[in-house]
Amino acid sequence: MTERILITGGAGFIGSNLAATLIKRPNTDVVIADDFSSGDWRNLIHVDCEVRAADCDDFDLLESIAAGEFTAVMHQAAITDTTVMDQRLMVEVNTNAFASILEASAKSGIRVIYASSAGTYGNSAAPNRVGVGEEPENIYGFSKLAMDRVAARWYEKHPAPIVGLRYFNVYGPGEHHKNECEGNKTASMILQMYQRAKAGKQLRLFKHGEQMRDFVYIRDVIAANLAALEAPRSGVCNVGSGKARSFNDIVENLGKQLGQSFDVDYIDNPFTFYQMHTEADLSESKAIMGWEPSWSLEKGVEDYVRLLESGHRGPAETA
């Protein structure tokens, strides 16, 4: 049977990496629906699939889902700028649209994988475990928690599994556009630091670089999505490396790969809300999807810098 997988937000960082991987599978067609609000067509230059410019809750798209045109939906589309404060807009785009996708997919009985976020945990104590300390500190994190709650209401009546993936801090090829938009730069700290270093600028960290985050490499995120496509049941799973690492660690690893040692400028943190320590507990991810990460920060940064140094900027699988 030919799989026909719909990826919403497929012009974005994670969606384009997913598409680039899935088109290599035998008997698999990929259709991307993206409104191009934050994604980048350049991510798709070497990804041979059908592209539709559409809102993810576009009426015709929902009709196609309900009519059985697809065998699975992988929903990545969202407002991804976590500094957007418009509450109604965030919930409309992130949560309402997802609810409509679930309703449509229930009609055709197809599996739904969707992007949740570590933002659902806010600043609660690490390690972050699904079902514990879900106290988002901004409207973005709340909109994702609301998605998980909508999904849970469908678990019993949806004919196929619904798997939510709470991504932690994802880094890797395909995220350049996140540093090129007007205003807020949302690319990973690894790309931001790499670009400053290459421009000969002094690296800056918020005082004193000891903030801890769970940085997860894009290749692990894609592997988690593939595992979710096979998961036997519904649920929410963390997608992280399982290890918190400091911002100073990032600088050190980057220095190692670039053969440089950096004199960091430690500046005051202007944000009132800032996650100080995230770390994914992976017990649900193993239990539901049988997935575990395989890229350490050291290996991930090495692979990423190798691709960046070769001038590659698209999804990993197109290198």
Ligand X SMILES: NC(=O)c1ccc[n+]([C@@H]2O[C@H](COP(=O)([O-])OP(=O)(O)OC[C@H]3O[C@@H](n4cnc5c(N)ncnc54)[C@H](O)[C@@H]3O)[C@@H](O)[C@H]2O)c1
CA angle 145, 151, 155 (to 5 degrees): 140
Does 15 help bind ligand X (rule: CB under 6 A)? yes
Does 49 help bind ligand X (rule: CB under 6 A)? no
| 161 or 174: CB nearest ligand X | 174
Amino acid identity of residue 269, one-letter, is N
Binding residue for ligand X, selected from 11, 30, 130, 297, defined by CB under 6 A: 11
Cβ of residue 185: shortest distance to ligand X, in angstroms?
A: 12
Which range, of 70-78, 149-157, 252-260, 291-299, touches ligand X by CB under 6 A?
Answer: 70-78
Distance CA 306, CA 144 (A): 33
Least Cα distance to 195 among 135, 274, 254 occurs for 254
Binding mask 204-243 for ligand X (x = CB under 6 A): ----------------------------------------
Least Cα distance to 239 among 255, 262, 260, 223 occurs for 223
Token reading at 249: 């660690």
Give, rounded to a whole angstrom, the gap between the first and last alpha carbons of the chain.
29
Binding residue for ligand X, selected from 3, 55, 210, 292, defined by CB under 6 A: 55
Interface with ligand X (CB under 6 A), residue total 29
Binding residue for ligand X, selected from 3, 4, 37, 46, defined by CB under 6 A: 37
Cβ of residue 241: shortest distance to ligand X, in angstroms?
A: 12
Per DSSP, the three-state class of 41 is helix
Which range, of 33-41, 121-129, 203-211, 278-286, touches ligand X by CB under 6 A?
Answer: 33-41
Binding residue for ligand X, selected from 64, 71, 95, 117, defined by CB under 6 A: 117
Which range, of 73-81, 104-112, 292-300, 304-312, touches ligand X by CB under 6 A?
Answer: 73-81
> Any residues with CB less than 8 A from the CB of 193 and at least 6 apart, and which?
203, 250, 251, 254
Candidate list 114, 140, 171, 217, residue with the active-site label:
140
Cβ of residue 231: shortest distance to ligand X, in angstroms?
A: 18
Does 34 help bind ligand X (rule: CB under 6 A)? yes
Binding residue for ligand X, selected from 5, 6, 7, 8, defined by CB under 6 A: 8
Binding mask 167-186 for ligand X (x = CB under 6 A): x-xx-------x--------
Token reading at 142: 């709340």
Q: What is the bridge-based pairing of β-strands 215-217 and 169-171?
A: parallel
Q: Is 178 a catalytic residue?
A: yes
Does 80 help bind ligand X (rule: CB under 6 A)? yes
Does 13 help bind ligand X (rule: CB under 6 A)? yes
| 37 or 262: CB nearest ligand X | 37
Q: What are the backbone dihedrals phi and psi of residue 242, each rounded to the nearest 5 degrees, phi first? A: 85, 0
Candidate list 121, 171, 178, 217, residue with the active-site label:
178
Task: Check: CB of residue 262 under 8 Å from CB of residue 203.
Answer: yes
* Interface of this chain with ligand X, residues 134 to 163, rule: CB under 6 A: none
Per DSSP, the three-state class of 161 is coil
> Any residues with CB less than 8 A from the CB of 203 and at least 6 apart, and which?
193, 196, 197, 251, 262, 263, 264, 265
Distance, C-alpha 30 to centroid of its chain = 18
Distance CA 240, CA 116 (A): 12
Task: Check: CB of residue 192 under 8 Å from CB of residue 179.
Answer: yes
Applying CB under 6 A, which residues contact ligand X? 8-9, 11-15, 33-39, 55-56, 76-80, 93, 97, 115, 117, 167, 169-170, 178
Catalytic residues: 140, 178
